């Protein structure tokens, strides 16, 4: 029996460009959540978990309105965080990002991601379909972990708001990346959150 994890970044946050740490979804973010809910509405979900931050909680609530049989549970393991600090292998172009990140934040993020992958990637009995509504860096870390890529490579993996990433584990096999940042459910004007706009 296979395990599936559906990783979703929260919808667009209102006024996020002004440095707001957390807050409600924008009107566009709410629409992203609704379209995502329509996309995954037929999944046989076993469980749903979300980051406790408001933007993720509101995304979970929107999805829950479409899928009321499963109640999403908050998990601190899915909080926004910085998974690692600078490493010797990391290209220097990424160094400026860490100028405003404290050592304590990095230590906390590293510990959190170790616990999160141990919890959610652990082998389970039976067929499972789990939905995790979380943040850009958290999803990047899960994908990096599944691919066995160097620690710093999470910085090269970006997820759009309400993009869909799916990983799968079959018995006796490692986790596999099935799809990354799938945006088929979102029209071009709702594809936000990436560092560069998509041209196709």
Tell me the pLDDT tens digit for each residue of 63-114: 999 998 889 999 999 999 999 999 999 999 999 999 989 999 999 999 999 9
d(CA 82, CA 84): 6
pTM for this predicted structure: 0.95
CB atoms within 10 A of CB 47: 13
Task: Summarize pLDDT for 133-182 with one digit per residue, the tens.
Answer: 999 999 999 999 999 999 999 999 999 999 999 999 999 999 999 999 99
The DSSP H or E segment spanning 131 is strand 128-134
Q: Whole-angstrom Cα distance, residue 151 to residue 90?
A: 9
Q: Which of 13-22, 68-77, 122-131 has the lowest mean pLDDT?
A: 13-22
**E-strand stretches of 36-100:** 47-50, 73-74
The CATH code that applies to domain 3-13+23-168 is: 3.40.50.1240
**CB atoms closer than 10 angstroms to residue 121:** 17
What is the domain partition of the chain in residue ranges? 3-13+23-168
Band of residue 11 on the pLDDT scale cut at 50, 70, 90 = very high
For residue 19, pLDDT over 80 is answered with: no
Phi/psi for 4 (5° steps) reads -125, 135
């Amino acid at each position: 029996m296979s395990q599936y994890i559906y990783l979703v970044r929260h919808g667009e946050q209102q006024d996020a460009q002004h440095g707001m740490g957390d807050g409600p979804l924008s009107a566009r973010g709410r629409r992203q959540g609704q379209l995502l809910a329509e996309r995954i509405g037929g999944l046989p979900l076993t469980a749903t978990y979300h980051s406790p931050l408001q933007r993720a909680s509101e995304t979970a609530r929107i999805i829950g309105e479409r899928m009321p049989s499963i109640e999403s549970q908050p998990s601190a393991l899915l909080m926004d965080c910085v998974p690692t600090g600078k490493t010797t292998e990391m290209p220097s172009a990424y160094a400026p990002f860490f100028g405003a990140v404290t050592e304590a934040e990095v230590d906390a993020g590293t510990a959190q991601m170790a616990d999160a992958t141990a919890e959610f990637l652990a082998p389970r009995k039976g067929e499972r379909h789990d939905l995790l509504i979380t943040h850009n860096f958290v999803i990047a870390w899960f994908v990096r972990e599944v691919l066995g890529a160097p620690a710093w490579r999470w910085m090269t993996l970006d997820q759009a708001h309400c993009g869909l990433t799916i990983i799968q584990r079959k018995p006796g096999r490692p986790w596999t990346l099935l799809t990354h940042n799938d945006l088929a459910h979102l029209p071009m004007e709702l594809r936000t959150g990436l560092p560069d706009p998509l041209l196709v």
